[in-house]
């Protein structure tokens, strides 16, 4: 699912939220956390999907927070009904940090959920729980909306999406590509699922991916992507050799880097401080790729909230690397690629369907 642009709210209008969870405690917690933000208004709550579907036409929410496991009608079934009757309604899933929760969340993203938030099993005090929800859930609401007056435009106009790649002039000498590094966040799993079947089975370069996701989720993402390609897809581990024709997913809660070891290149993992509030962070991978591969790395920045990847792209571009950014029209959220495009660092800005053809064209 793609969103062409942020929803622009009228002056004084707040983001209307419907909270759906079978736990009374969670409903109250989420309602209080959201209600403390002046840009958000909780217009209702429901104990299961069946009740939520009846409430939607009455309270007309902009966003629904949707628990996965509920009686009578669970989150996935509710999501299917919402996507059929309200295709533009934003849905944010509530997931547990478990293998089952991760698997169902990935399925929900495939079915059209816009994003997700994980529930901590033991999140500490009520104040800590509230702070965590405010810090994680509210930004996920706001990423889909344009709040308040638009600032005066300072960036060059975006390149419109077309079925054919739209390329910025490339005046640098071509360098053989030895690796493709990809950064992605919100909207990433469906985007990667669209890309992987398009990569030819004889692709010779390694592909290294940072997708903002917690532990367990990244392993299951790798397993899902493996079903879509003949390339070998793995969640990266410490010291793993980087080889052509392999796809490496950064594991949740670990930064992933590449480093030289003898005549080869290996994966290095660490739990250094988060960057851009992320671990793994795209910037970390991209900086290391610039150090190891230089101009022979190709960077791809896909849909996602925030600016993670921008500094890494700056370093890659300084070495002479080619940079591909997903366009706004095909992005769920045009934060990460938009930051790169606005900074004038993208050599090519293309529709998601054209990312792999663009990589092959440059190769």
**Whether the bond into 49 is cis, omega within 30 of 0:** no
The tokens 């529709």 sit on which residue?
351
Number of domains in the chain: 2
Q: Determine which one of 45, 115, 178, 212 is catalytic.
A: 212
pLDDT digits (tens, 9 = 90+) for 176-228: 889 999 999 999 999 999 999 999 999 999 999 999 999 999 999 999 999 99
Which has the higher per-residue pLDDT, 165 or 213? Answer: 213
- Mean pLDDT throughout 284-291? 98
Indicate whether 132 and 278 sit together in one domain: no
Indicate whether 188 and 315 sit together in one domain: yes
Cβ partners under 8 Å of residue 188, min gap 6:
211, 212, 213, 302, 303, 304
Q: Which two tokens stand for residue 78?
A: 């509710």
Q: Is 308 annotated as catalytic?
A: yes
Residue 252: domain span: 166-362
Indicate whether 72 and 15 sit together in one domain: yes
pLDDT band at 146 (very low <50, low <70, confident <90, very high): confident
Q: Is 255 annotated as catalytic?
A: no
Indicate whether 260 and 333 sit together in one domain: yes
Indicate whether 131 and 209 sit together in one domain: no
pLDDT digits (tens, 9 = 90+) for 16-64: 999 999 999 889 989 998 988 999 999 999 999 999 999 999 999 999 9
pLDDT of residue 1: 57
Which has the higher per-residue pLDDT, 290 or 99? Answer: 290
Whether 152 shows a pLDDT value over 50: the answer reads no
CATH number at residue 13: 3.40.50.2300
The pTM assigned to this predicted structure is 0.88
Distance CA(355)–CA(361), nearest Å, equals 10
pLDDT digits (tens, 9 = 90+) for 72-94: 999 999 999 999 999 999 999 99
Q: Determine which one of 308, 327, 347, 351 is catalytic.
A: 308
Residue 3: inside a domain, yes or no?
A: no
Indicate whether 176 and 113 sit together in one domain: no
Of 23-37, 159-173, 222-236, 313-327, least confident by mean pLDDT is: 159-173
Give SS3 for 276: coil
pLDDT digits (tens, 9 = 90+) for 325-346: 999 999 999 999 999 999 999 9
Indicate whether 111 and 205 sit together in one domain: no
Indicate whether 201 and 129 sit together in one domain: no
CATH number at residue 234: 3.40.50.180
Indicate whether 80 and 223 sit together in one domain: no
Indicate whether 135 and 190 sit together in one domain: no
Beta carbons of 325 and 339 less than 8 angstroms apart: no
Residue 1: inside a domain, yes or no?
A: no
Whether 113 shows a pLDDT value over 50: the answer reads yes
Whether 157 shows a pLDDT value over 70: the answer reads no
Residue 135: inside a domain, yes or no?
A: yes
Using the 3D structure, point to which of 146, 175, 196 is the last residue of a domain.
146
Give SS3 for 181: strand
Q: Determine which one of 185, 321, 331, 348 is catalytic.
A: 185
β partners of residue 255: 270
Indicate whether 125 and 271 sit together in one domain: no
Q: Is 212 annotated as catalytic?
A: yes
């Amino acid at each position: 699912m793609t969103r062409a642009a942020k929803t622009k709210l009228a002056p004084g209008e707040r983001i209307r939220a419907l909270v759906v969870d079978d736990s009374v405690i969670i409903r109250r917690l989420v309602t209080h956390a959201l209600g403390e933000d002046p840009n958000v208004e909780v217009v209702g709550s429901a104990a299961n999907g069946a009740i939520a579907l009846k409430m939607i036409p009455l309270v007309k929410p902009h966003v629904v927070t949707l628990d996965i496991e509920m009686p009578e009608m669970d989150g996935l079934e509710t999501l299917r009904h919402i996507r059929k009757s309200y295709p533009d309604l934003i849905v944010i899933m509530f997931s547990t940090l478990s293998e089952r929760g991760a698997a169902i969340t990935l399925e929900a993203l495939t079915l059209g959920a816009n994003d997700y938030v994980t529930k901590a099993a033991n999140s500490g005090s009520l104040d800590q729980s509230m702070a965590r929800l405010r810090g994680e859930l509210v930004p996920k609401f706001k990423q889909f909306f344009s709040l308040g007056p638009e600032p005066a435009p300072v960036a060059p106009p975006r390149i419109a999406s077309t079925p054919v790649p739209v390329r910025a002039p490339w005046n640098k000498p071509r360098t053989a590509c030895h690796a493709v590094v990809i950064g992605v966040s919100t909207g990433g799993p469906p985007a990667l699922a669209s890309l992987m079947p398009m990569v030819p089975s004889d692709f010779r370069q390694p592909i290294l991916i940072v997708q903002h996701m917690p532990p367990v989720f990244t392993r299951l993402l790798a397993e899902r992507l493996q079903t879509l390609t003949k390339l070998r897809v793995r969640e990266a581990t410490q010291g793993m050799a980087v080889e052509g024709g392999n796809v490496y997913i950064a594991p949740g809660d670990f930064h992933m880097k590449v480093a030289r070891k003898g005549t080869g290149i290996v994966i290095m993992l660490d739990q250094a401080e988060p960057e851009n509030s992320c671990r793994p962070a795209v910037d970390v991978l991209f900086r290391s790729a610039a150090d190891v591969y230089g101009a022979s790395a190709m960077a791809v920045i896909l849909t996602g909230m925030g600016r993670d990847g921008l500094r890494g792209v700056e370093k890659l571009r300084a070495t002479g690397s080619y940079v591909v950014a997903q366009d706004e029209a095909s992005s769920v959220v045009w934060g990460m690629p938009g930051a790169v495009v606005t900074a004038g660092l993208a050599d090519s800005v293309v529709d998601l369907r054209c990312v792999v053809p663009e990589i092959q064209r440059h190769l």
